[in-house]
Amino acid sequence: MRRWRWILFLVLPLVLAAGWVLRRPQVPANPQVFSAPQRTLSAGTLPGRPAPGFVRETLDGRELSLSDLLGKPVVMNFWASWCVPCRAEAPTLAQAARRFRGRVHFLGVNVLDEIEEARRFVEQYGLPFPSVVDDDGSLLRAYRVVGLPTTVFVTSSGVIRDVHAGPFVGPEGARRLEADLLRLLKEP
């Protein structure tokens, strides 16, 4: 009888731990971090498909949905404060958001991050656009993002026009981002 208690004492925690692991959301524990632009699109998030809708809380506590932004093109940037390439591209995104203000909505999607760290990031880089919180990785999965940063370009009618995996950095990155934005503005 004692032997069975010992076995139960050792096996039960293992079974419970395995069940907990299997029930967790299937989000990459460490999303890939892109140090250079990748034109390889993540599986499933292809141009021409409707952008998955969502309602999320922003870093400043407001509720925001994708449908609130439609009517104008939307640029969704998936980022995290711990992502070095995200830090490198933040000034380029901030500058583009200011330049295209009123014509394009920019939206940050903060992924698997601590809220206070994310707020510090936004303040440090002066991001002039809202960021929604994706603390459970469900937007990461819905948009099939496999690495950070990733930028999704959505037409004013809610269709994904393009996906850019990797950072927009330096003068070349700024030119590429501007060209993508100008193309996006031509879409219905």
Structure confidence at residue 187 (pLDDT): 87
Asked if residue 160 lies in contact with residue 45, where contact means CB atoms within 8 angstroms, the answer is yes
One pLDDT digit (tens) per residue for the chain, 188 residues? 565 555 544 544 444 444 444 443 344 444 555 554 444 444 445 789 999 999 999 999 999 999 999 999 999 999 999 999 999 999 999 999 999 999 999 999 999 999 999 999 999 999 999 999 999 999 999 999 999 999 999 999 999 999 999 999 999 999 999 999 999 999 88
Whether CATH 3.40.190.10 fits 28-186? no
Where exactly are the structural domains of the chain? 28-186
Query: pTM of the entire structure?
Result: 0.79
- Predicted confidence at residue 183, as pLDDT, reads 97
In this predicted structure, what is the pLDDT of residue 32? 54
Which pLDDT value is given to residue 23? 42
Task: Please name the amino acid found at residue 89.
Answer: E
